[in-house]
Amino acid sequence: MVEEATPLPDVEAEAARVLERAAQAKLLVRLLGGAAVGMHRHIAFPPQLQRPYGDIDVVVKKGQDRGLKRLLEDLGYTPNRSFNNLHGDRRLLYYDERNGRQLDIFIGTFRMCHAIDLDDRLELHPTTLAPADLLLTKLQIVKINAKDVVDAQALLLGHQVERGTGDLIDLGRLVKVTSHDWGWYTTFMDNLARLMPAEVPSPLGGEGGGAADAPLPPEAAAQVGGRVTTIQQALVDAPKSLQWKARAAIGRRMAWYELPEEIGGG
């Protein structure tokens, strides 16, 4: 296998290689997941928010997945043919067998516990999803794990939270997604509370400290806590759709999320 068709050992370097080759092929592909958070290291993160990244996750624009499949095989990836035959209209799975990694492809829409349409938002950032969309993908997980908490806190520490475009967490985007879907709102708000550092009490009830065993440094904790509070208040105050209100009347008596299929193995 020629060098160019061999995935690189470093996951962030390899993610950058895939994105560069996709751009050369005029494919609209953007990174999400932990490696995307790593590309938003705009400041020095405290050790509590640093972690190694494992796999690579991307979103490709609908209709361009066929070109991406050809590209990945040229770059040395092996398809999971059985999974791709079953789910290939919305999701694809490839393996980097040399480095023991997998590459997950979402086609236009990210769907785990909740669904979020990304097809018209892929040009907002040159390499990754926009920061607000990255935060949404991290906090839509009902059974959130420590890595997702760390990644979400890192996004909040590294970005201003306000309405607008650019390299910031757009409050308008968070409001739009959660004010029309009570299930999205509920999961997102539950997980926001888990991001509140231990030193910072939640203004919406309860204590902070849902996040980590090792407390953040005071300055970082205050920054993350303040931005969590800003988002919480904006989502509480936002007008809600009739559909949202109808589903809220049922509440948690009925499941408001899907359980994502566990995928693994080569």
| Mean pLDDT value across residues 72-100 | 96
Find the mean pLDDT for residues 14-18.
97
> 176 near 163, Cβ under 8 Å?
no
CB distance 140 to 116 below 8 Å: yes
Region 4-20 average pLDDT = 93
In the structure encoding, which two tokens stand for residue 33, read together?
A: 């997941």
Contact by Cβ (8 Å): 183, 247:
yes
DSSP run (H or E) holding 111: strand 109-111
Task: From residue 57, give the alpha-carbon distance in Å to each of 60, 199, 255.
Answer: 10, 33, 27
pLDDT of residue 5: 78
Whether the per-residue pLDDT at 265 is higher than 50: the answer is no
Is the pLDDT reported for residue 260 higher than 50?
Answer: yes
Instruction: Give 4 or 117, the one with higher predicted confidence.
Output: 117
Amino acid at site 22: A
Its pTM stands at 0.91
Domain carrying residue 25: 3-253
pLDDT tens-digit readout, 185-231: 999 999 999 999 865 544 444 444 444 457 899 999 999 999 999 99
* pLDDT at residue 2 is higher than 90: no
In a domain? residue 266: no
| 68 within some domain | yes
Per-residue pLDDT tens digits for 36-48: 999 998 888 999 9
Q: Say which DSSP state 128 is in.
A: B
Tokens standing for residue 115: 């669904």
Most confident of 13-17, 49-53, 261-265: 13-17
For residue 265, being part of any structural domain is answered with: no
Q: Which residues contact 138 (CB under 8 A, 6 or more apart)?
A: 37, 144, 148, 151, 152, 155, 191
Q: Is the pLDDT of residue 1 over 50?
A: no
Give the span between the Cα atoms of 98 and 102, in whole angstroms. Answer: 10
Q: What is the mean pLDDT of the segment spanning 54-63? A: 97
- The secondary structure of residue 198, as a DSSP letter, is T
Taking the alpha carbons at both ends of the chain, their separation in whole angstroms is: 19
What mean pLDDT comes out for the span 74-92? Answer: 95
Q: Please report the pLDDT score of residue 3 as a whole number.
A: 47
Q: Looking at residues 158-165, what average pLDDT do you find?
A: 95
> Can you read off the two tokens belonging to residue 106?
């979402």
Average pLDDT over residues 154-170: 95
Residue 264 forms part of a structural domain: no
C-alpha–C-alpha distance, residues 202 and 111, integer Å? 29
Residue length of the chain: 266
Q: Is residue 258 part of a domain?
A: no
Separation of alpha carbons 104 and 223, rounded Å: 32
pLDDT tops 60 at residue 50: yes
Give the DSSP H or E segment for 42.
none
Distance, CA of 196 to CA of 133 (rounded, Å): 20
Cβ 58 vs Cβ 35: under 8 Å? no
Per the domain annotation, does 76 fall within a domain?
Answer: yes
pLDDT over 90 (residue 108):
yes
Number of domains in the chain: 1
